[in-house]
Amino acid sequence: MKKIYITVICLFIASIVFFISSFVYLDKNNRKTYYYVINSSGRDIGTIRVDKFVTEDKRIYKTALMAPYDEITTEIRAKIVYDRKYNLESYSAERVSGGAVETISIDKSDTGVSFISRLNSRFAFLEGIPVRKETFIFEEDSPATYPAIIENYDFLRGKSQGFSAISCFSDWELPPMKRFVTLTSVRDEYLKIERKKIKTENLLLKIKDYPQGSIWVAKIDRSLIKIEIPFLGLKITRTFSPRELTPKNYIGESGEYGSRDVTFKNNGANLSGTLTFPLKETRYPAVLLAGPDGPEDRNLRGLFADLAESLSKNGFTVLRFDKRGVGSSDGSLGSLSEDDEADDLAKALDLLAAQKEADPQNLFVLSHSQGALRALKLASEKDYIKGLILMAPEIYSRYGSQENFEDYDKIFFDQKWGRDYLKSVKKSLEDIKTRASQSKGSWALILWKRCFIKRVKEETDRRPSIFIKNVKVPVLILQGRLDSPSSMESSSLLDKMLEEDGNTGHALTYYGYLGRYFGKKVNDGIHRIHYEADKDVLDNISSWLHLH
């Protein structure tokens, strides 16, 4: 009898082990992990991990992108969920930039799909986007969006086969766009990946109104091996083990000027910055650098770092700082209003004026993009500011202004994005404006997501002309002709407004060969991708400051 009990117990234990092992086996077979390296213009700049899960009723693709070399974004995590028949159920992603987190969600609804994004202190949404039943999420630079399309390509039939898709843009304030993706089998080809030689099938990738690319798929299991998008200078290649990339930050290290970290407190947040100054101990004219909206740190992709270095070598004390929730500063970028940013800038100016290296009677403000509005407002309120330099200024709101809608008309005509999509963008902007105006508080629940709406309210009600007419100090506007149409229009409009309001010390300078960050984009494989400021721009700024 004892032997029978022992036998039963052994069989019971064996059945449990088999049961657990079967789940491990199923998980191993239903979950696949792939690693990729991102190469831009010949330099490895990031890595991607893609996990594929198959359950009884779902197909799930998850991706973790680490981009330490990127000029602003350091990490993106995304998840796509289809049912077993590849009908899209949901897509979600979060993007980390400068320590701040932005999110986007796309969910199936009765009328199509709904989209919502929360971008720092802004939000965007659009409901009822009509899509076909067999529609895929597709982004040409995301390997996690390729497998579902590849799995639906009939390799036995070959030739050209098309798929309906929707894509999200890097600017998550825009709704997703419908696209048509075509794969065409070309030839079999062996690729050497690390030490492995892999037989692949090469397919041409064609997206309507977009330059052609190529992908390579393993013959043995149809897994994605390589992506090439020549137009973007982009290659994404399979690797068989995780890799870690560690770039250096681009910061001037010259010994020709002094530098120290500073902090100041405002409305419960400790804000961190860098003060640079000439080496001789005396008081110098001082310049405060005011950054744009979004998760930009004190160096502004290299532009502010170069400006601080150049100006401090040429006899100026300079302060630049991380905004709330970015870099080394406390607080939350997700609930930062325009009034908060303006107040932080005023406190930073007070801090600069109090430094022993700064002449409090000789203060200037240099701004970039949306920082121009805060700089203009500050100059209209503080009579001790001697002058303003506004680089690529943006002065009007994107929500509902006629000028901005006309700007979108120009963009979509140039990009051949289609009138239907333009209507979607305008509807999204109108819906955002309406929802913000109808909400009473600073927050609202939109598509089941908690959104900060105070910032949108402020931008909708913004009237720049009210304080621009009170700016009487000299103003230098700098604009690159390779910038966006909205920035070009904004600079011209601002120059005209200053003229009409009697400001006799304003000037507008165009640079036909420069874009938004006034310099050459540098991808050297050592530092984070950054912009090296143009010498003529630096010299022009220094000369103008010395004259005023």
Q: How confident is the model at residue 23 (pLDDT cuts 50, 70, 90)?
A: very low
Residue 511's pLDDT is what?
97
3-class SS letters over 113-158: EEEEEEECCEEEEEEEECCCCCEEECCCCCHHHCHHHHHCCCCCCC
- Which residues of the chain are in CATH 3.40.50.1820 domains? 258-396+462-547
- In this predicted structure, the answer to whether residue 18 has a pLDDT above a threshold of 50 is no
pLDDT, mean over the chain: 89
**In which residue are the tokens 């010390």 written?**
505
- In this predicted structure, the answer to whether residue 9 has a pLDDT above a threshold of 80 is no
**Least reliable range by pLDDT among 289-303, 344-358, 390-404, 498-512:** 390-404
Report pLDDT digits (tens) over 140-165: 999 999 999 999 999 999 999 999 99
DSSP for 59-80 reads EEEEEEEE-TTSSSEEEEEEEE
Q: Are 226 and 238 spatial neighbours (Cβ–Cβ below 8 Å)?
A: yes
Report pLDDT digits (tens) over 504-525: 999 999 999 999 999 999 999 9
**Least reliable range by pLDDT among 10-24, 336-350, 513-527:** 10-24
Cross-strand bridge partners of residue 90: 81, 107
Q: How far apart are CA 388 and CA 380, in angstroms?
A: 11
Q: Select the more confidently predicted residue: 504 or 484.
A: 504
Assigned token pair, 131: 């899509």
Across 250-269, average pLDDT: 87
Across 520-537, average pLDDT: 94
CATH annotation of 258-396+462-547: 3.40.50.1820
Q: How many residues does the chain have?
A: 548
Angle between helices 402-415 and 485-500 (to 10 degrees): 150
Across 9-23, average pLDDT: 43
Q: Select the more confidently predicted residue: 403 or 228.
A: 228
Assigned token pair, 439: 């909400």
Report residue 453 CA to chain centroid gap.
20
- Which residues of the chain are in CATH 2.50.20 domains? 30-239
- In this predicted structure, the answer to whether residue 48 has a pLDDT above a threshold of 90 is yes
Smallest Cα–Cα separation from 147: which of 70, 227, 239?
Answer: 227
Q: Are 129 and 176 spatial neighbours (Cβ–Cβ below 8 Å)?
A: yes
DSSP for 186-233 reads EEEEEEEETTEEEEEEEEEEEETTS--EEEEEETTT--EEEEEEGGGT
Smallest Cα–Cα separation from 123: which of 530, 418, 399?
Answer: 399
| Cα end-to-end distance, the chain, whole Å | 105
DSSP symbol at 333:
G
- In this predicted structure, the answer to whether residue 402 has a pLDDT above a threshold of 70 is no
**Least reliable range by pLDDT among 2-6, 175-179, 240-244:** 2-6
Residue 366's pLDDT is what?
98
pTM recorded for the entire structure: 0.89
Q: How confident is the model at residue 408 (pLDDT cuts 50, 70, 90)?
A: low
Residue 404's pLDDT is what?
52
DSSP symbol at 461:
T
- In this predicted structure, the answer to whether residue 8 has a pLDDT above a threshold of 70 is no
Beta-strand relationship, 112-119 and 284-290: unpaired
Q: What are the Cα distances from residue 318, in Å, to 298, 309, 363, 369, 478?
A: 12, 9, 10, 19, 19
Q: Are 394 and 371 spatial neighbours (Cβ–Cβ below 8 Å)?
A: no
Across 468-488, average pLDDT: 92
- In this predicted structure, the answer to whether residue 14 has a pLDDT above a threshold of 60 is no
CATH annotation of 30-239: 2.50.20
Beta-strand relationship, 112-119 and 122-129: antiparallel
Dihedral over Cα of 481, 484, 486, 491: its sign? negative
Q: What are the Cα distances from residue 208, in Å, to 35, 140, 165, 212, 213?
A: 28, 13, 11, 9, 12
Q: How far apart are CA 123 and CA 334, in angstroms?
A: 10
Residues of the chain above pLDDT 70, percent:
91
- In this predicted structure, the answer to whether residue 483 has a pLDDT above a threshold of 70 is yes
Q: How confident is the model at residue 310 (pLDDT cuts 50, 70, 90)?
A: very high
Q: How confident is the model at residue 417 (pLDDT cuts 50, 70, 90)?
A: low
Across 30-48, average pLDDT: 93
How many C-alpha atoms does 258 have within 13 Å on its Cβ side? 15
Report pLDDT digits (tens) over 431-457: 999 999 898 899 999 999 999 999 999
Smallest Cα–Cα separation from 65: which of 82, 50, 44?
Answer: 50
Q: How confident is the model at residue 20 (pLDDT cuts 50, 70, 90)?
A: very low
**In which residue are the tokens 């050297």 written?**
524
